[in-house]
Chain A
Amino acid sequence: RKEVEQDPGPFNVPEGATVAFNCTYSNSASQSFFWYRQDCRKEPKLLMSVYSSGNEDGRFTAQLNRASQYISLLIRDSKLSDSATYLCVVTQPMDTGRRALTFGSGTRLQVQP
Chain B
Amino acid sequence: DTGVSQDPRHKITKRGQNVTFRCDPISEHNRLYWYRQTLGQGPEFLTYFQNEAQLEKSRLLSDRFSAERPKGSFSTLEIQRTEQGDSAMYLCASSFGTDSYEQYFGPGTRLTVT
Tell me the A residues contacting B by CB distance below 8 Å. Answer: 4, 8, 32, 34, 42-46, 87, 91, 94, 97-106
Contact = CB atoms under 8 A, between A and B. Distances in A.
B40 A105 contact: yes
A8 B45 CA distance: 20
11 contacts: A32-B101, A43-B106, A43-B107, A46-B104, A94-B99, A99-B31, A100-B33, A100-B45, A101-B45, A105-B40, A106-B40
B67 interface: no
A99 B42 contact: no
Contacts of A91: 101
A99 B43 CA distance: 14
A43 B42 contact: no
B58 interface: yes
Interface residues of A, dominant DSSP: loop
Given A87-B42, A94-B99, A100 B105 contact: no
Contact of A97 (B44, B55, B103, B106): B55
Contacts of B48: 99-100
Given A98-B56, A99-B56, A34 B101 contact: yes
B101 A105 contact: no
Nearest to B103: A101
B91 interface: yes
B108 interface: yes
A98 B58 CA distance: 11
Nearest to A4: B42
B102 interface: yes
B41 interface: yes
A27 to B, nearest CB: 14
Interface in B76-114: 91, 95, 99, 101-108
B29 to A, nearest CB: 12
Contacts of A87: 42-43
A104 B42 contact: yes
Contact of B101 (A44, A101, A104): A101
Given A32-B101, A99-B31, A101-B103, A43 B108 contact: yes
A42 B3 CA distance: 14
